[in-house]
Structure 1
């Protein structure tokens, strides 16, 4: 931008700062298209560029009275457009990343559910390989949630025998599962 253009900007900014609201209309006429083009260049979306430019004009109107160097209006305004455009891209990327993370978490949860179901089925298959007395103790203790004393009463065996069967059932399960994994 040449010095003549900067002088025009300086004059319009000073007029607006002095209270002449029409000066802003001329600034908008001079810069709006360039601001839109800059926003579009960054965003690659015409509608988003127009929205960003409109937001930038609101910022410019709020802060123009604080502009210390009126002839730098063009570069100052362009900087606002540039910054707002980048902020828009960052916000879109953040939202996209959040959605992708949510989708990833959902997929992980589904896989974990599938894994749990497969593990549960494998464990039930393995329990069926145990002797009947051990199967019953495992099912009563872990599935039905009975205490050792209650299991002893149900099976008419001592608590010590219940503990022993439960221990041997767990050990046998461990060895069978280890063999299956190797």
Structure 2
């Protein structure tokens, strides 16, 4: 079902690089929906997918002159869209992890000092003097009852680092409680 006047992608790229703006418009009409669909397949959000496709077009337009084989435009451009989509999902995952890390440390501080025994008040005070990373490990180990392996996975650290933080946190708490 090809039209008689169908121009290949490679020819359109060559024409655009030579200065023909209509060739770019034809490429955009031909591929924009494909780019949006590909981005949506990865990010699962239509508005974000449209933004990724738009950002990808900016990069494609800037770099199309460096394309060595214009006939491979579609796969080259889709690879750009794919990478931008993956980058977006990684950024969102990182932001969620940072938000969860903040919630863990914040929850220790939210334990009220009233209505608890003197010993518990001293313990809470000693925990609050720990570094944030040690507070996280203490919270996950004692409050959420996670194993060291699960703590390591949650905080994206090695099991050895989790053990070390827990050990040093315990030692610091012991010193604080002896005072």
Task: Tell me the TM-score normalized by structure 2.
Answer: 0.59
Answering whether residue 49 of structure 2 is matched by residue 49 of structure 1, we say: yes
Aligned to 1:33: 33
Aligned to 1:77: 77
1:117, CA displacement in angstroms?
Answer: 6.6
1:121, CA displacement in angstroms?
Answer: 6.2
Aligned to 1:68: 68
| Alignment partners' CA distance in 1, 2:86 and 2:39 | 9
Unaligned runs of 5+ in 2: 1-6, 123-179
CA 1:69–1:102: 2 relative to 1, 3 Å: same
1:119, CA displacement in angstroms?
Answer: 1.9
Runs (4+) off by over 6 Å: none
Higher Rg: 1
Task: Tell me the TM-score normalized by structure 1.
Answer: 0.59
| Alignment partners' CA distance in 1, 2:121 and 2:20 | 80
| Alignment partners' CA distance in 1, 2:73 and 2:30 | 11
Unaligned runs of 5+ in 1: 1-6, 123-182
- Give the length in aligned residue pairs: 118
Question: What CA deviation, in whole Å up to 9, does each residue of 1:30-88 have, x standing for no partner?
Answer: 10111111011111111010000000000101101111110010000100010000000
Cα root mean square deviation, aligned = 2.8
Q: Higher helix share goes to which structure?
A: 1
